[in-house]
Structure 1
Amino acid sequence: MNLQERKDLLIRLGSLMASDDEGWQNAKRKATAENPWFIPEFINLSVNNIVEQFLSEEALQGLIGRYKITEPLQPKKVGIVMAGNIPLVGFHDLMCTLLTGHYAMIKPSSKDEALVTFLIKKLKELNPDAIPYFTVSEMLKGCDAYIATGSNNSSTYFQYYFSKYPHIIRKNRTSVAVLTGNETDVELAALADDVYQFFGLGCRNVTKIFVPRNFNFERLLTVFEKYDYLTDYQKYKNNYDYHLAILLLNHKPYMSNESLLLVEDSSVFSPISQLNYEYYSDWESLKQRLKDTEQIQCVVSKDSVAFGAAQQPSICDFADGVDTVEFLLSLS
């Protein structure tokens, strides 16, 4: 397949993902049945972002032009170990591998297998010439390069197995927000999306906020009540009840609404159903501190990632700040 054919294939896939295709709808229902964290609302949220931000003619052509993508001199076999924390989180790696003309050997996460395998099957059906470009395998042996996403623990194993090959290895990351106290209710409602969407499981979810000393937490928690319905999902409610019990047993101060525990804590990571906060006095020094923290994926604030946009990465927003396209182009 030449570059134009590969681009056209991705655009056609985007059209299918935006449609009511019966097979696709069944795959989404299967994904929810197999992984209760993948509720239909959040599957559709992820799918819509992929369709709008990645698979449009404008987005794909913009990426091709930015990197001057041409035909690879010698296509390589790229092993992709996908995460499964949010629906189709590994799609961007798959898309970039195809667009740059390499062959993808994919190990989907067991938590996200239904969606990934269906889309790979559809890519092959939409253009049979794409069949050699995708292989789903439990063991990723004989690859020329690897892209592996996982936890801090799994990254140690990835580093051991893949160190002698060109590789991208991603670890745990999270996102934070910096508030001034002058945010409108509309901005706080958008921040709630950054906190609650995907139940807070994504690396672009805000798990900690930095606030000035006079910050009005009551207003924040009131606005955040828009997501109180998440406690209707048992797995989320179990986390809320568990972490509330821990706070009570340890006599640790907290604030809450019906769906979130707000806790003063120095860690940028917080458990499901909890949002950490920390006071700050100087924005410039905080900005430098956050810049030097490798655990942070993105910062939501008035002069950085916009409120409500954390879960809407563009086609050129690369995980961990590592340029996937540049890496893939360097292989050939």
Structure 2
Amino acid sequence: MTIQQRKSHFTELGKFLGRFTNQGLKLDNQNPAYTALEQDFEEQINMAVHYNGWFTRENVLFSLEQWSSALTKENLDTWISSYNFENESDKTVAIIMAGNIPMVGFHDFLSVLISGHKLIVKQSSNDKKFLPLIARFLSLVEPAYKDKINFTEDRLPHFDAVIATGSNNTARYFEYYFKGKPSIIRKNRNSVAVLTGNESREELEALGEDIFRYFGLGCRNVSKLYVPQGYDFDSFYKALSTWERLLDHAKYANNYDYNKAVYLMSKFKFLDNGFLILKEDPGFGSPIGSVFYETYSGREQLEKNLGLNKENLQCVVTGGYEPKNVNFGQTQLPALWDYADNVDTLAFLRSL
């Protein structure tokens, strides 16, 4: 397969994923070969929450929609234009995936295949239903993918390089175990938002998407706020009012209640609007149902803090503060060239 053929295959995948919407499945009556796969996909979307209580239909469809929007000819051309992947490779890349949000490992999956390599996928037990269906789609488009994609639940067979995602603790094991192989090892990261107090209601409402999408479980979810000294959280809380619906989800409500109880028993000071706790804390990984915050007195102090913690940060969300990293409401809409941990996956794969 040429790079142009591979790009066309993933463009077709983008169109296929676009058939699954909150309004229901848009059947492709022009291609009956996809009918069984469409039905299996729809079934897994409806069943996902039974395998992983955090994978609601709304969040699964949101993920599929974002990947559908990303996989266009224009986006793929822009992404690939700086690299030479004309020739297929005989290298095999192992991917060890996380499972915190739906299809969290798809970018690595896509990167390996678009670059012409073979892959071995070890999925998380929390997210193991959708990538095999995507592999089925690609094999329908081009049967050669059957020999390029291998899923395993056992010890990894022979491979030439590895991309592994896990916690800071598992990363140490990955680094030791894979020390003889070219690798990308990803650790815990969190995202923060910088507020100035001059944000509009629309910007703060958009920030709600950065905080609450996927229940805050992703590394691109905002888990901490930097606010100026004396910041009034009233407007912030009012702008997030529509997200009170998360209390209808038992797992979120239980986590919120538990963490609130822990804070109360520990006599921590915190703010609370009935579904989101704000706790002043220098840390980054706030528990579900809560967001940490830290005050700053000036730009110099803030920039120093962000610089010292850059290895812990995935996204910095800003509005009026410069330099901008990610705009409000955009953390869960990364482009193909927005690499996790700022590590260029395609450059790594090109070097093999």
TM-score of the aligned structures, taking structure 1 as reference length: 0.96
1:56 aligns with 2:72: yes
2:125 aligned counterpart, secondary structure: coil
Select which of 136, 139, 144 maps to 1:124.
139
Mapped partners of 1:289, 1:278: distance in 2 = 10
- Which of these residues, 86, 97, 110, is aligned with residue 95 of structure 1? 110
In structure 2, the residue matched to 1:37 is: 54
In the alignment, structure 1 segments of 5+ residues that lack a partner are none
Q: Which has the higher contact order (CA 8 A, sep 6+)?
A: 1
Per mean C-alpha deviation after superposition, the further-off stretch among 41-50 and 103-112 is: 41-50
Instruction: Choose which of 218, 239, 244 in structure 2 pairs with 1:202.
Output: 218
**Residue 333 of structure 2 corresponds to which residue in structure 1?**
312
Equivalent AA in structure 1 for residue 129 of structure 2: A
SS at match of 2:206: helix
CA deviations 1:249-288 (Å, max 9, x no partner) are 1111111112100111110110111100110011233123
Tell me the CA shift for residue 30 of structure 1.
2.5
Give the deviation of 1:38 after TM superposition.
0.6
Which stretch shifts more, 17-26 or 74-83?
17-26
The list of structure 1 runs, each at least 4 consecutive aligned residues, that deviate by more than 3 angstroms after superposition, is: none
Q: Which residue of 1 aligns with 2:43?
A: 26
Q: Is the 8 A contact 2:115 2:346 kept in 1?
A: yes
What displacement does 1:299 show?
Answer: 0.2
Equivalent in the alignment of 2:130: 115
Counterpart of 1:244 in structure 2: which amino acid? Answer: K
1:287 is matched with 303
Amino acid at match of 1:43: V
- Report the count of equivalent residues: 329
Shift of 1:29: 1.6
User: Does structure 1 residue 269 correspond to structure 2 residue 285?
Assistant: yes
1:33-67 superposed Cα distances (whole Å, 9 cap, x missing partner): 211101111111111111112x1100111112122
Residue aligning to 2:271: 255
> Which amino acid in 2 is paired with 1:327?
F
CA distance, structure 1, for counterparts of residue 130 and residue 96 of structure 2: 15
The residue identity in structure 1 corresponding to 2:63 is S
Whole-Å separation in 2 of the counterparts to 1:50 and 1:290? 30
1:192 corresponds to? 208
- Aligned partner of 2:120 in structure 1 is 105
Q: CA RMSD in A?
A: 1.2
C-alpha distance in 2 between matches for 1:314 and 1:288: 28
- 8 Å CA contact 2:85–2:116 kept in 1: the answer is no
Identity %: 41
Helix, strand or coil at the partner of 1:263:
strand
* Conservation of the 8 A alpha-carbon contact between 1:37 and 1:198: yes
Unmatched 5+ stretches in structure 2? 20-24, 26-37
Scaled by the length of structure 2, what TM-score is found? 0.91
User: Structure 1 residue 121: deviation in Å?
Assistant: 1.9
